[in-house]
Structure 1
């Protein structure tokens, strides 16, 4: 029999803030975390816009040995996971003596690879790279560092699925627990913020060039959008079986009630409406969730013409034009590998605090966005159930449904 799966802790380290309270306030106020980065412009970027969060100082928290294998994704992920564990009432002593897993979404560690290669190119000696580089360079850098630091004993793998990585990581954690294979899994997504990681996207003309007004540049669903904004950081949710959460007396923040996935099987970068609809339908099937029970949709919409329009059509096909929709990427930019996890945190914060965060910069709808209910200003509203979409290159689609905790 399938077990109920709940969220008992969450943490966030993003351009909207580095704590739950900061991020909640930014969401409510509709504040943008996008900046103009002169370093990118000097580097040769067409667009120097980015979401920005400072690299954390981990010296007070971790030993030098623990830090040496960490670069941006792992550093950000440690910070968000530290928050989540505190909220869930978990510590290393407990984790070391129980079977707790970790599944994190991450799809690049570009900067650390470039730094190691540059050192060899300059010095002509690979022995000068340093012993920590290998652990920084691997895509599994978040999992290998956190699982070691936290002394985890359960499932341990990195999920790489482009911009759906964080969402699929939570979905896989949900499946592990619901099938009785784990009682507890630390899930999330991490994304590095540096020019090395994003130059190829910039070279394709993917990013907005509205550099004169960074806060207005990310415009999901708006007719006048001209591209997405890269961003990053990390987000973590602690998933546990309902029974284990009750046994521990842990806080129950939300319940995961659906996970849907699909592959478009077509173009490597262009979205597919049919695939998106299949993922959303699958998520609703798990607990027989009806379309009229979805109170809010956190859209994947990244501020690109093809992507936003496709999702708007998929939402309209399945839900019609009434359900409130917003894309928090209007404030954060596209957090890429972490987005599917951070948007779960953002949506839980809205659900806890009875508001729907705005899709800022939505001024002129296009033909497709005009048919759905885009929330352009913060709305004070109680809601009990939300859907979060995440779609990635290669045609990978993920949809998660969470609701307020019940008996």
Structure 2
């Protein structure tokens, strides 16, 4: 089997907007979601910068029994998924009468683990931890909570691949549907942003340092970049076979055409060029498109010294200087485990609304990658094909090719 895979719903909960409408506006305006979190300084952070995302209030949407097992990531994911469901026109009855899967990329929930450990250390009694703690903290917290709440009957799995997790979740969902194993899968990525989750990351010294101008701190490809800015939230996409979408009269937003992956096989945290090149070329080959057919690349570029340059060189090797390139992380910061999914949402919103969002804070391009066709101001332009890159610690790489949907 070799079925077409389409996107019929999207939901987003991020520091640049709590729904697709808000996010599309922020992308067009080049609006930063980065702020200073004063609590981080007191906590011992070297950098207090973050993409701030409010905790949703789910008391009216879910019962206490449902909420008690949900940590921060699951709450974000629930809100994003509800928006995606509404756009995809998925009813409760449809979910109950059809086999729907879920593949989500996220990390284990650090806050729940720390809080549970603190209780045991202080009280010396494990029974005081509470019945919901284990389900809050596990790596599969998002998929187990949403699959239970939504009564899902299909594939149910969490993808853990560092900052490429959300992208790999979409890529694997694409493969399951393409091969006829599922008709519809909820795919996405989520990331908690509390200090517990980011403390060890901050300790590596890779966070940006421009505290005076938080909106300018994330500077992918710019010579003045000093590091990344952590962020989070959740993004959900409804992937569906073309046949399923047509059968139920769904509006098709875009088509996922190719998924490429690779492993660098080298340093645990320092990226190289070869791995990303393999992933991008594999995605192009599977999509059946040439490098010159790609109009826009949403780069992984996190605003780190080595990572931005190596990715830029890899893009130039595969694509040359033709496609427009920008990193939406310049506005959102690095959404980590969520980023691979959210950047598919961001890029699809651009394709729907005929514009390319800018790589803000780009004043002087790094000399080594000056040939890249970098976008520093919003471009109003129709485009038909984009590629989104996501890379992670351990050398994991993912690239997704998405097309504007056309009946063939």
Please tell me whether the aligned partners of residues 174 and 256 of structure 2 are also in contact (alpha carbons under 8 angstroms): yes
1:350 maps to 350
Please tell me whether the aligned partners of residues 92 and 151 of structure 1 are also in contact (alpha carbons under 8 angstroms): no
1:213 maps to 213
1:382 maps to 382
SS at match of 1:256: strand
Tell me by how many angstroms 1:27 deviates.
0.3
SS at match of 1:398: strand
Q: How does 1:279-290 map to 2 (within 5 A)?
A: 279-290=279-290
Distance 2:8 2:387 in 1: 19
Please tell me whether the aligned partners of residues 321 and 373 of structure 2 are also in contact (alpha carbons under 8 angstroms): yes
1:67 maps to 67
Q: How does 1:77-88 map to 2 (within 5 A)?
A: 77-88=77-88
Tell me by how many angstroms 1:289 deviates.
0.6
Distance 1:50 1:24 in 2: 20
Tell me by how many angstroms 1:124 deviates.
1.8
Distance 2:322 2:182 in 1: 38
Distance 1:338 1:108 in 2: 13
Tell me by how many angstroms 1:368 deviates.
2.5
SS at match of 1:257: strand
SS at match of 1:103: strand
- Number of aligned residue pairs: give it: 407
Tell me by how many angstroms 1:203 deviates.
0.8
Tell me by how many angstroms 1:114 deviates.
0.5
Tell me by how many angstroms 1:92 deviates.
2.3
User: In the alignment, does 2:56 pair up with 1:56?
Assistant: yes
1:359 maps to 359
4+ residue segments displaced more than 3 Å: none
Tell me by how many angstroms 1:16 deviates.
0.5
SS at match of 1:111: helix
Structure 1 residue runs of 5 or longer lacking an equivalent are: none
2:12 maps to 12
Distance 2:278 2:287 in 1: 16
1:306 maps to 306
SS at match of 2:287: coil
Tell me by how many angstroms 1:122 deviates.
1.9
User: In the alignment, does 2:142 pair up with 1:148?
Assistant: no
RMSD: 0.6
Tell me by how many angstroms 1:292 deviates.
1.1
Distance 1:101 1:167 in 2: 16
The Cα offsets for residues 121-165 of structure 1, whole Å up to 9 and x where unpaired, read as 222211111000010010000000000000000000000000000
The Cα offsets for residues 158-205 of structure 1, whole Å up to 9 and x where unpaired, read as 000000000000000000000000000000000001000011111110
User: In the alignment, does 2:403 pair up with 1:403?
Assistant: yes
1:276 maps to 276
Distance 1:47 1:12 in 2: 26
Which stretch of structure 1 is more off in the superposition, 335-344 or 112-121? Answer: 112-121
Tell me by how many angstroms 1:108 deviates.
2.7
Which stretch of structure 1 is more off in the superposition, 230-239 or 197-206? Answer: 197-206
Please tell me whether the aligned partners of residues 166 and 188 of structure 2 are also in contact (alpha carbons under 8 angstroms): yes
User: In the alignment, does 2:154 pair up with 1:158?
Assistant: no
Which stretch of structure 1 is more off in the superposition, 344-353 or 108-117? Answer: 108-117
Q: How does 1:242-281 map to 2 (within 5 A)?
A: 242-281=242-281
Please tell me whether the aligned partners of residues 287 and 401 of structure 2 are also in contact (alpha carbons under 8 angstroms): no
Distance 2:84 2:372 in 1: 34
Tell me by how many angstroms 1:107 deviates.
1.9
Please tell me whether the aligned partners of residues 108 and 197 of structure 1 are also in contact (alpha carbons under 8 angstroms): no
Distance 1:368 1:28 in 2: 28
Distance 2:380 2:155 in 1: 40
1:393 maps to 393
Which stretch of structure 1 is more off in the superposition, 360-369 or 70-79? Answer: 360-369
Distance 1:108 1:393 in 2: 15
SS at match of 2:370: helix
Q: How does 1:162-181 map to 2 (within 5 A)?
A: 162-181=162-181
User: In the alignment, does 2:370 pair up with 1:373?
Assistant: no
1:337 maps to 337
The Cα offsets for residues 197-234 of structure 1, whole Å up to 9 and x where unpaired, read as 01111111010111011000000000110000000000
The Cα offsets for residues 283-338 of structure 1, whole Å up to 9 and x where unpaired, read as 01113210111000000000001000000000000111121000000000000000
Distance 1:35 1:91 in 2: 37
Which stretch of structure 1 is more off in the superposition, 285-294 or 296-305? Answer: 285-294
Please tell me whether the aligned partners of residues 108 and 140 of structure 2 are also in contact (alpha carbons under 8 angstroms): no
1:34 maps to 34
